[in-house]
Structure 1
């Protein structure tokens, strides 16, 4: 794994036919469950593959693992 991203780092991930992006707001190095838009979302974060709570430009939040995202290019 590359080094974990810090809070406020802009990251992106593949979404549909394109990409989505947002800013890391929290880093979890353990299993975490977050309620996002009324649904409980769980990611099994670890030291080797932390989970990130990411805030998108429109204010929506997503929960992703390190292996699901990359540092944004723009």
Structure 2
């Protein structure tokens, strides 16, 4: 799995950081998502999928094959 985030469209809701804190964080100044690891470990993949599903701005993109 490879994760990509589109920060230009992030609204700073923070759902991703709450659901998958080992993979996502937020910038202190504006709350925009920060991707901590592009290739999360297997134990974090379910929470990454959950974060992508819950993101109100749909800025989290998951590439399963690469």
Name the TM-score, length of structure 1 as normaliser.
0.25
Q: Higher relative contact order at CA 8 Å, sep ≥6: structure 1 or structure 2?
A: 2
Bigger helix fraction: 2
Bigger strand fraction: 1
> Which of 1 and 2 has greater Rg?
1
Name the TM-score, length of structure 2 as normaliser.
0.27
